Protein backbone atom coordinates (compact mmCIF):
# COMPACT_ATOMS: atom_id res chain seq x y z
CA UNK A 1 0.00 0.00 0.00
CA UNK A 2 1.32 3.46 -0.92
CA UNK A 3 2.14 5.99 1.81
CA UNK A 4 -0.43 8.40 0.37
CA UNK A 5 -3.24 6.04 1.33
CA UNK A 6 -2.25 5.76 5.00
CA UNK A 7 -4.31 8.81 6.16
CA UNK A 8 -7.39 7.41 4.39
CA UNK A 9 -6.82 4.01 6.00
CA UNK A 10 -6.49 5.70 9.41
CA UNK A 11 -9.81 7.50 8.93
CA UNK A 12 -11.50 4.23 7.96
CA UNK A 13 -10.04 2.55 11.06
CA UNK A 14 -11.46 5.35 13.22
CA UNK A 15 -14.92 4.94 11.68
CA UNK A 16 -14.83 1.17 12.20
CA UNK A 17 -13.78 1.68 15.83
CA UNK A 18 -16.72 4.03 16.43
CA UNK A 19 -19.21 1.58 14.95
CA UNK A 20 -17.93 -1.50 16.72
CA UNK A 21 -17.21 0.10 20.09
CA UNK A 22 -20.80 1.34 20.17
CA UNK A 23 -21.87 -2.31 20.61
CA UNK A 24 -18.96 -3.38 22.84
CA UNK A 25 -16.71 -4.84 20.15
CA UNK A 26 -13.04 -4.21 19.41
CA UNK A 27 -13.59 -4.09 15.66
CA UNK A 28 -11.10 -6.73 14.47
CA UNK A 29 -13.40 -8.10 11.76
CA UNK A 30 -13.98 -4.55 10.54
CA UNK A 31 -10.25 -3.75 10.55
CA UNK A 32 -9.59 -6.94 8.62
CA UNK A 33 -12.21 -5.91 6.08
CA UNK A 34 -10.80 -2.41 5.64
CA UNK A 35 -7.20 -3.59 5.46
CA UNK A 36 -8.18 -6.22 2.90
CA UNK A 37 -9.79 -3.53 0.78
CA UNK A 38 -6.55 -1.53 1.02
CA UNK A 39 -4.63 -4.66 -0.08
CA UNK A 40 -2.39 -5.07 2.96
CA UNK A 41 -0.36 -8.28 2.94
CA UNK A 42 -2.11 -11.28 4.50
CA UNK A 43 0.76 -11.67 6.99
CA UNK A 44 0.11 -8.16 8.37
CA UNK A 45 -3.66 -8.52 8.76
CA UNK A 46 -3.84 -10.71 11.85
CA UNK A 47 -1.30 -8.98 14.14
CA UNK A 48 -2.43 -5.49 13.13
CA UNK A 49 -6.07 -6.32 13.78
CA UNK A 50 -5.21 -7.77 17.19
CA UNK A 51 -3.21 -4.69 18.19
CA UNK A 52 -6.08 -2.38 17.24
CA UNK A 53 -8.54 -4.74 18.90
CA UNK A 54 -6.66 -4.51 22.21
CA UNK A 55 -6.69 -0.72 22.09
CA UNK A 56 -10.42 -0.39 21.38
CA UNK A 57 -11.57 -3.29 23.56
CA UNK A 58 -9.52 -1.87 26.42
CA UNK A 59 -11.24 1.51 26.38
CA UNK A 60 -14.58 -0.20 25.74
CA UNK A 61 -14.15 -2.46 28.76
CA UNK A 62 -13.44 0.53 30.98
CA UNK A 63 -16.38 2.60 29.76
CA UNK A 64 -18.96 -0.21 29.76
CA UNK A 65 -17.90 -1.47 33.17
CA UNK A 66 -17.96 2.00 34.73
CA UNK A 67 -21.46 2.40 33.26
CA UNK A 68 -22.35 -0.87 35.09
CA UNK A 69 -23.06 -2.81 31.89
CA UNK A 70 -21.20 -5.94 32.93
CA UNK A 71 -21.79 -9.26 34.70
CA UNK A 72 -18.80 -11.09 36.15
CA UNK A 73 -20.97 -14.13 36.91
CA UNK A 74 -21.72 -14.58 33.20
CA UNK A 75 -18.26 -13.57 31.97
CA UNK A 76 -15.79 -15.74 33.88
CA UNK A 77 -16.81 -19.24 32.64
CA UNK A 78 -16.27 -18.13 29.04
CA UNK A 79 -12.96 -16.44 29.82
CA UNK A 80 -11.36 -19.20 31.91
CA UNK A 81 -11.21 -21.56 28.90
CA UNK A 82 -11.04 -19.03 26.06
CA UNK A 83 -7.79 -17.39 27.21
CA UNK A 84 -5.54 -20.50 26.96
CA UNK A 85 -7.38 -21.62 23.83
CA UNK A 86 -6.82 -18.23 22.21
CA UNK A 87 -3.11 -18.42 23.04
CA UNK A 88 -3.02 -21.86 21.40
CA UNK A 89 -4.86 -20.61 18.34
CA UNK A 90 -2.44 -17.72 18.04
CA UNK A 91 0.42 -20.20 17.70
CA UNK A 92 -0.93 -21.35 14.34
CA UNK A 93 -0.95 -19.54 11.00
CA UNK A 94 -3.10 -20.55 8.07
CA UNK A 95 -1.48 -20.39 4.59
CA UNK A 96 -2.82 -17.54 2.39
CA UNK A 97 -4.80 -19.85 0.07
CA UNK A 98 -6.71 -21.09 3.11
CA UNK A 99 -6.62 -17.90 5.16
CA UNK A 100 -8.32 -15.66 2.59
CA UNK A 101 -11.48 -17.76 1.99
CA UNK A 102 -11.68 -18.69 5.67
CA UNK A 103 -11.44 -15.03 6.65
CA UNK A 104 -14.03 -14.18 3.98
CA UNK A 105 -16.51 -16.57 5.57
CA UNK A 106 -15.84 -15.04 8.99
CA UNK A 107 -16.43 -11.54 7.63
CA UNK A 108 -19.70 -12.59 6.01
CA UNK A 109 -20.79 -14.15 9.30
CA UNK A 110 -19.92 -10.91 11.06
CA UNK A 111 -22.02 -9.00 8.53
CA UNK A 112 -24.99 -11.27 9.24
CA UNK A 113 -24.52 -10.81 12.98
CA UNK A 114 -24.44 -7.05 12.68
CA UNK A 115 -27.55 -7.04 10.51
CA UNK A 116 -29.65 -9.19 12.85
CA UNK A 117 -28.34 -7.16 15.80
CA UNK A 118 -31.00 -4.56 14.97
CA UNK A 119 -33.75 -7.11 15.64
CA UNK A 120 -32.65 -8.12 19.11
CA UNK A 121 -34.87 -7.26 22.04
CA UNK A 122 -34.21 -7.28 25.76
CA UNK A 123 -36.07 -9.82 27.89
CA UNK A 124 -35.66 -12.16 30.81
CA UNK A 125 -32.15 -13.56 31.12
CA UNK A 126 -30.64 -16.70 32.58
CA UNK A 127 -26.91 -17.43 32.88
CA UNK A 128 -25.69 -20.43 30.85
CA UNK A 129 -24.75 -23.69 32.52
CA UNK A 130 -21.12 -23.81 33.54
CA UNK A 131 -20.02 -26.72 31.27
CA UNK A 132 -21.76 -25.12 28.27
CA UNK A 133 -20.16 -21.72 28.85
CA UNK A 134 -16.69 -23.22 29.34
CA UNK A 135 -16.96 -25.35 26.19
CA UNK A 136 -18.13 -22.39 24.11
CA UNK A 137 -15.34 -20.24 25.56
CA UNK A 138 -12.71 -22.78 24.48
CA UNK A 139 -14.02 -22.99 20.93
CA UNK A 140 -14.39 -19.24 20.50
CA UNK A 141 -11.00 -18.59 22.10
CA UNK A 142 -9.19 -20.92 19.72
CA UNK A 143 -11.00 -19.43 16.73
CA UNK A 144 -10.22 -15.88 17.81
CA UNK A 145 -6.50 -16.62 18.20
CA UNK A 146 -6.32 -18.45 14.89
CA UNK A 147 -8.20 -15.87 12.82
CA UNK A 148 -7.09 -12.67 14.52
CA UNK A 149 -10.37 -11.47 16.02
CA UNK A 150 -11.47 -11.20 19.63
CA UNK A 151 -14.36 -13.65 19.39
CA UNK A 152 -17.05 -11.11 20.23
CA UNK A 153 -18.68 -11.39 16.82
CA UNK A 154 -19.56 -14.97 17.76
CA UNK A 155 -20.22 -14.60 21.50
CA UNK A 156 -22.56 -11.60 21.40
CA UNK A 157 -25.32 -13.11 19.23
CA UNK A 158 -25.22 -16.34 21.22
CA UNK A 159 -25.62 -14.52 24.51
CA UNK A 160 -28.48 -12.32 23.37
CA UNK A 161 -30.38 -14.84 21.26
CA UNK A 162 -30.17 -17.44 24.05
CA UNK A 163 -31.05 -14.92 26.75
CA UNK A 164 -27.84 -15.24 28.77
CA UNK A 165 -27.55 -11.51 29.58
CA UNK A 166 -29.24 -8.18 28.94
CA UNK A 167 -28.25 -6.50 25.70
CA UNK A 168 -26.21 -3.75 27.36
CA UNK A 169 -24.51 -6.30 29.61
CA UNK A 170 -23.63 -8.31 26.52
CA UNK A 171 -21.70 -5.30 25.20
CA UNK A 172 -19.68 -5.01 28.41
CA UNK A 173 -19.02 -8.75 28.61
CA UNK A 174 -18.03 -8.88 24.95
CA UNK A 175 -15.61 -5.98 25.38
CA UNK A 176 -13.63 -7.70 28.15
CA UNK A 177 -13.88 -11.10 26.39
CA UNK A 178 -12.40 -9.53 23.27
CA UNK A 179 -9.67 -7.78 25.24
CA UNK A 180 -8.37 -10.85 27.06
CA UNK A 181 -8.54 -13.09 24.00
CA UNK A 182 -6.86 -10.55 21.74
CA UNK A 183 -3.98 -10.28 24.20
CA UNK A 184 -3.73 -14.06 24.50
CA UNK A 185 -3.89 -14.51 20.73
CA UNK A 186 -1.14 -11.96 20.17
CA UNK A 187 1.08 -13.53 22.86
CA UNK A 188 0.64 -16.85 21.09
CA UNK A 189 2.27 -15.46 17.95
CA UNK A 190 4.53 -12.59 19.04
CA UNK A 191 6.79 -13.11 16.04
CA UNK A 192 3.94 -11.91 13.81
CA UNK A 193 4.48 -8.40 15.18
CA UNK A 194 7.42 -8.16 12.79
CA UNK A 195 4.85 -7.99 9.99
CA UNK A 196 3.01 -5.01 11.52
CA UNK A 197 3.37 -1.89 9.31
CA UNK A 198 5.39 1.09 10.56
CA UNK A 199 2.31 3.31 10.57
CA UNK A 200 0.39 1.18 13.11
CA UNK A 201 0.88 3.77 15.90
CA UNK A 202 -1.14 6.23 13.81
CA UNK A 203 -3.84 3.61 13.27
CA UNK A 204 -3.84 2.86 17.00
CA UNK A 205 -4.35 6.53 17.90
CA UNK A 206 -7.25 6.80 15.45
CA UNK A 207 -8.72 3.54 16.76
CA UNK A 208 -8.47 4.82 20.33
CA UNK A 209 -10.25 8.05 19.41
CA UNK A 210 -12.98 6.21 17.54
CA UNK A 211 -13.31 3.55 20.22
CA UNK A 212 -13.73 6.16 22.92
CA UNK A 213 -16.47 7.96 20.99
CA UNK A 214 -18.25 4.72 20.13
CA UNK A 215 -18.10 3.22 23.62
CA UNK A 216 -19.26 6.47 25.22
CA UNK A 217 -22.27 6.54 22.91
CA UNK A 218 -23.02 2.84 23.13
CA UNK A 219 -22.83 2.70 26.91
CA UNK A 220 -25.34 5.55 27.07
CA UNK A 221 -28.04 4.02 24.87
CA UNK A 222 -26.96 5.38 21.50
CA UNK A 223 -29.26 3.91 18.80
CA UNK A 224 -27.12 2.01 16.30
CA UNK A 225 -29.35 -0.02 13.92
CA UNK A 226 -28.67 2.10 10.84
CA UNK A 227 -24.89 2.22 11.23
CA UNK A 228 -24.74 -1.50 12.00
CA UNK A 229 -26.51 -2.24 8.71
CA UNK A 230 -24.07 0.03 6.89
CA UNK A 231 -21.14 -1.76 8.49
CA UNK A 232 -22.66 -5.09 7.52
CA UNK A 233 -22.56 -4.01 3.88
CA UNK A 234 -18.86 -3.14 4.17
CA UNK A 235 -18.16 -6.59 5.60
CA UNK A 236 -20.15 -8.25 2.81
CA UNK A 237 -18.06 -6.47 0.18
CA UNK A 238 -14.77 -7.26 1.92
CA UNK A 239 -15.74 -10.85 2.67
CA UNK A 240 -16.73 -11.40 -0.94
CA UNK A 241 -13.42 -9.91 -2.07
CA UNK A 242 -11.46 -12.29 0.15
CA UNK A 243 -13.36 -15.32 -1.13
CA UNK A 244 -13.57 -14.49 -4.84
CA UNK A 245 -10.28 -12.68 -5.54
Calculate ∠ Cα 73-76-78, nearest 5°. Answer: 120
Digit-coded pLDDT (tens) for 103-153: 788 778 877 876 765 555 555 678 889 999 999 999 988 888 887 777 777
- Which pLDDT value is given to residue 112? 80
- Which pLDDT value is given to residue 245? 59
**33-57 b/e (C-beta count within 10 Å ≥ 16 → b):** bbbbeeebebebbbbbbbbbbbbbb
Mean pLDDT on 51-64: 95
* Average pLDDT value over all residues in the chain: 84
- Which pLDDT value is given to residue 18? 92
State the pLDDT confidence band at 224, using cuts at 50, 70 and 90.
low
What's the rounded Cα separation, in Å, for the pair 237 and 43? 21
- Specify whether the CB–CB gap between 86 and 142 falls below 8 A: yes
- Which pLDDT value is given to residue 32? 86
With the CA atoms of 103, 105, 106 and 111 taken in that order, what torsion angle do they form, in degrees rounded to the nearest 10? 130
Digit-coded pLDDT (tens) for 75-114: 999 999 999 998 898 888 777 677 778 778 877 887 787 6
State the Rg of the chain over Cα: 16
Digit-coded pLDDT (tens) for 174-223: 999 999 988 988 888 777 788 888 999 999 999 999 999 999 988 886 66
- Which pLDDT value is given to residue 61? 96
Which range (7-16, 61-70, 147-156) has the least confidence? 147-156
- Specify whether the CB–CB gap between 54 and 46 falls below 8 A: no
Mean pLDDT on 239-244: 74
Amino acid sequence: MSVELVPLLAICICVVAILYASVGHGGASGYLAVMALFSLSPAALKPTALVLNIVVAGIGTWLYCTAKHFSWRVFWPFAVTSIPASYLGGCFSLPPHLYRPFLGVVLLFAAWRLFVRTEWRAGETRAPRLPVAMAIGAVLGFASGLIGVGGGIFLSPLMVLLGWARVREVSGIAALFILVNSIAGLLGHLSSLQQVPDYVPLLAVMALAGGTLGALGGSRHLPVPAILKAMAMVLVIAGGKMILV
